[in-house]
Chain A
Amino acid sequence: MSQRLGFDRVTKVFEGSGNDADFVAFDDITLEAAPSEFLAVVGPSGCGKSTLLRMAAGLTDPTRGKVVLDGKPVREPPPGVIYLFQQYAKSLFAWRTVIDNVMFPVEGAPRARRGELRAQCRDYLRQVGLDGFEDKYPWQLSGGMQQRVAIARALAADPQVLLLDEPFSAVDALTRMELQTLMLQLWERRKFTAILVTHDVEEAIFLADRVAVLGARPTSLKEVIDVGLPRPRDQLTTREDPRFLKLRHHITASLLARNDGHVASA
């Protein structure tokens, strides 16, 4: 199968200003997500996970190596690659109602299709459970609902690749689980390629087909783990599955740089 989105020996260096030394965000990372795959990337905070997604979205260029989308190098934001930000409140358009936020990606379409597209956007809002909130403003909604608006807007853009930048880390624990389940439902329905960046190991295992583990700075790829848990996944049974717990143990130990209980000598 052809790769949908790949990082090919990607290195990102942030140039230091003045006396600051150059900062190597990550070094020589090769990783690819197959079409319709749900790939998670976990790593300690500050390891440059978000930068990886920003490069995939064409928002920033790698210093060396390249990001490849269906065989073509990514230079500017490619069509169909949609980014879901952690800071949903800053990503929504405060002056637009919920429905007009969702309409944003399709507004370039001819006027004749407006009605049809609007109906479609209403349907996306229904899919994320925001039926009846079309005419509210984002600041009138709770955090979890705001992220749902952002998700509906991403759906409206017809994503081939959805980049998830810790999208559920700013909401409360219960809402986070609801949003995770919602994301899985949408992913199973729409079959886009999803790349999730998170520091939450359980979230990565719960959602993903494979989990890529990043090491500490300068960040390199430590290992890629097949999750292999059955789908559809469930917030209770999946998380209680012995295989889930084993994976969690393994990945957490890896992130903490331990070998199953023994403190690494380094």
Chain B
Amino acid sequence: MSAMDGLAGVREKRSSRRSGPNGMDRRAYGFLLLAVLLSFWELSSRAGWIVSAYWPPVSHIFAAAIAQLAGGEILLALASTLRRAAIGYIAASVAGIVLGIVLARNRVLRYGLLPLIEIVRPMPTPAVIPPLILFLGVDDALKIFIVALASFFPIFSNTFTGVAAIDDTLIQTARTFRTSTVRLLARVVFPATLPAIAAGLRTATSLCLVVAVLSEMIAGSSGIGYYLVETQYAMRPDLMYAAVLYLAATGYALNRIFLALEARMVPWMGRS
């Protein structure tokens, strides 16, 4: 399991152990804190506690966000970021799941490829952007590649350790039914690893958006990352913050969608 999927789980566990506020109340508390912080922001700007052109009242930011929506520009930027993130994510998922399963099950390939993967993994993704620009240019190919590279590792690692953790009894059961290797991988190993794969996919879900934005900030001509840098140069903090707001909402929505899909795809998670 990765560290990223813990937040919701921790909250659930606590609530079941203690007799605390129920679901609705809990959510209300969270939003209350959010409202207090936002009011504090609004106040700090309007009352002049922080005097800065880069600290507009939060109400201005919301107004800017709505105006952006009307212009359509922000949605286009968001769409192009999401497109890159999605392509990279899907490529990383296929590669990560296939390699994770194959390497965990095949000793020769494992000995051959694992050292390479272990060397590349600790490299911070942004560090490889400048050298990669030389080969892939500054267009989509670069950004999609970077997204795929960053998303690959959590998916691969979770799949790999997930396969290794399958109980031998399960594999031997399939073997005594004379299951072919291909069928064993597709019908036993893959589904048995799905909970671990889902954990990796979830980590990659938030990561792919982060990296897509980052790559657009470094080498961009479109997308939310580029928009952020552009509005910063243009001294339009209200537009900049509003874009961040949209990004946060997108990240939140992606995670919710993922959780809903996970609950449908892996209903036995944590049950066996």
Instruction: Name A residues whose Cβ lies closer than 8 Å to a Cβ of B.
Output: 54, 57-59, 77, 79, 81-83, 85, 87, 89-91, 93-96, 104-105, 107-108, 137-139, 157
Contacts and interface: CB of A to CB of B under 8 A. Distances in A.
A90 B167 CA distance: 7
Interface residues of B, number: 21
B272 interface: yes
B169 A95 contact: no
A94 B176 contact: no
Contacts of A96: 191
B169 A77 contact: no
Contact of B191 (A89, A93, A139): A93
Give 10 nearest A-B pairs by CB, closest first: A94-B272, A90-B169, A139-B271, A90-B167, A95-B191, A83-B176, A94-B268, A105-B177, A91-B173, A77-B176
Nearest to A107: B187
A247 to B, nearest CB: 31
Contact of A83 (B173, B267, B271): B173
B170 interface: yes
A137 B271 contact: yes
A104 B177 contact: yes
Contacts of B187: 104, 107
A161 to B, nearest CB: 11
Nearest to A140: B271
Chain A facing B: main interface SS: loop
A138 B271 CA distance: 9
B59 interface: no
Interface of B: 167, 169-170, 172-178, 183, 187-188, 191-192, 194, 266-268, 271-272
Contacts of B176: 57-59, 77, 81-83
A181 B19 CA distance: 47
A95 B194 contact: yes
Q: Which of A79, A90, A108, A138 is packed against the most chain B CB atoms within 10 Å?
A: A90
A57 B176 CA distance: 7
A50 to B, nearest CB: 11
B194 A93 contact: no
B178 A79 contact: yes
A137 B268 contact: yes
Given A77-B176, A77-B177, A87-B167, 15 more contacts: A57-B172, A77-B178, A82-B177, A85-B169, A85-B173, A90-B170, A91-B170, A91-B173, A95-B192, A95-B268, A104-B177, A107-B187, A108-B183, A137-B271, A138-B272
B151 to A, nearest CB: 24
Given A59-B175, A79-B178, A105-B177, A94 B271 contact: yes
Nearest to A104: B177
18 contacts: A57-B176, A58-B176, A77-B176, A83-B173, A85-B172, A89-B272, A91-B169, A93-B170, A93-B188, A93-B191, A94-B272, A95-B268, A104-B174, A107-B187, A108-B183, A137-B271, A138-B272, A157-B177
